[in-house]
Each structure stands twice: as C-alpha cells, then as structure tokens.
Amino acid sequence: MMKPDESIQIFVPLKVRKQNGRPKIMPPSTYLPSEDRTQDPHILRAIGRAWGWRRRMEAGEFNTVTDLAKAVGLAERHVSRQLRLAYLAPGVLKRLVYKREVPAVTLLKLTDVAALPWHAQPERVFD
C-alpha cells in the first residue's frame, strides 16, 4: 500500500491532435490492435481523456464532477464513471498500454475495476 503523500507517475505516449476543432487523443504509432480484433479501440482514448479530466480537476479548474461534465458537454454520470479510469493501478495501465495482454476488455469493466484497491485490479482485468 502507498502512503497518502506518495505518488506514482506513469507516462503513456499518447498524441493529441485537433479534429473538428476538438482535441483528439491518439494512441502511439506503434499501437497494434489485438489479432482477434476484439479489443475495444477506444480504451486508450478513454484513459487519456480521464487523465486529462483528473489533471484539470486537481488544478482547480473544476470544483465538482458536475462542473466538469457541463464544461465538456457530457452527462455527469458518464463523466463520473469514465473519470475512474484515471485511477487504474499502474500495473494495469502498463499491461493495457504497452503489453496489450488482454484480448478483450470493455470500458465498462475497466471503470468497475478502477473502484477496487490496486492490488485487486490485475486479477479482475487479466484473469
């Protein structure tokens, strides 16, 4: 377990580009979808978006999830659920982003798993 004042940094090589005037998060150029094509192609973007939202909230740009949801034009429930992705365990993020060990994992499953303690997350995602 980590102490409350400790932090872990994970760097995910995502690119941001504008599309229709809105930022779009792109996976690394080395990204290869799973061979069986069952991996959800939106997972990396959703994780990147969640981290962006988390940083904006931590910077004080928004005081509540309600304020954030209004600013990004999405339902509060959707934003609240997706924001959980910014709290996935570092080991889970690394395996999802770099190793792509999971042939099929849904965003819904990941948002549910993100509510668990870090030590319990890998077995729920990868088993």
Model pLDDT for residues 82-113, shown as the tens digit of each residue: 999 999 998 888 887 766 665 456 788 889 99
4 burial type by CB count under 10 A (0-12 exposed, 13-18 middle, 19+ buried): exposed
The CA distances from residue 23 to 9, 17, 81, in Å, are: 23, 5, 21
Which of 38-52, 74-88, 96-110 is least confident?
Answer: 96-110
What mean pLDDT comes out for the span 75-79? 93
- Is pTM beyond 0.85 here? no
For residues 81 and 62, what is the distance between their CA atoms, to the nearest angstrom? Answer: 17
Residue 24 has pLDDT above 50, yes or no: yes
17 vs 38: CA distance, rounded Å: 26
Q: Which two tokens stand for residue 7?
A: 């932090």
Calculate ∠ Cα 50-90-102, nearest 5°. Answer: 85
Q: What does the block give as tokens for 58?
A: 């931590």
